[in-house]
Amino acid sequence: MHKDTILVSCPINIVKDYAISEYIRAYRDQTHKEKKLLFADNSLNDWYFRYLKWKYPEIDSIIRTPMERDLTGTIDRAWEKIITYAYMSGIETIVSIESDIIVPPTMLERMYEDILDGANVVCHYVPERGGRAHMTSLGCVMFRRDNFPRGFSLKDSPYNFESIMYVGTDKEYRFIDGLYDWIAHLDYPDGGEELRKVWGDGYR
């Protein structure tokens, strides 16, 4: 595997299928060419798994992950398998882009520059009053695989994957200024029928 290969990944479910074609298009348009796309499908049966493999040749791999009783557990099991995949594939850099998040063509390139500069975690944030900011979970975050050990598991941990990403004082974080405005979140607001961006105007 090329040293600069980035693993683009996230848990997916058929309920987010409305955004997948745009997600794939944004992935295909990335200026950073050394990349692989992995989905961790937790749909109730394997129909969606087989459908994605048939429709989108851009997807390098799809793995099946269990649906737990709660969403947090489902996400944790998916990310355990994603990190195992990265170790087995020799990929050192992973980016979580959630399945309804659409990023601009230079996104991977911009984030990877900070990884090469020594950052362990590169993420976007939401500005708040008073000049402060808070991280916005796993929507768009790049991190070094080695932040997590081989065989990584959260089953006996007091943390979930979303929180453990930001636990510890030894990690160097980089916030990308303006990233909140560059990416788009696709949804059906207020239960309506029209798919549109909930926030983010930068993606074209």
pLDDT interval class at 157 (50, 70, 90): confident
CATH number of residue 114's parent domain: 3.90.550.10
- pLDDT value, residue 119: 85
Residues 6+ apart with CB under 8 A from 36: 5, 6, 7, 8, 60, 61, 89, 91
Most confident region among 27-41, 67-81, 164-178 by mean pLDDT: 27-41
Residues 168-201: tens digit of each pLDDT:
545 566 666 555 556 676 765 454 455 444 444 4
* Cβ atoms within 10 Å, residue 147: 16
Percent of the chain residues past pLDDT 90, beyond the cut: 36
| Residue 188 placed within a domain | yes
**How many domains are there within the chain?**
1
Q: Which domain holds residue 114?
A: 6-199
CA distance 28 to 37: 10
20-35 residue pLDDT tens: 998 999 999 999 999 9
Tell me whether residue 1 is in a domain.
Answer: no
In a domain, 54, yes or no: yes
Residue 125 domain-assigned (yes or no):
yes
Question: 136 by DSSP, 3-state: which?
Answer: coil
Q: Is residue 150 part of a domain?
A: yes
**95 within domain boundaries:** yes
- pTM to 2 decimals? 0.84
Is pLDDT larger for residue 129 or for residue 100?
A: 100
The pLDDT assigned to 172 comes to 66
Q: Is the residue at 191 inside a domain?
A: yes
What's residue 200's pLDDT?
Answer: 47
Top pLDDT among 137 and 126 is at 137
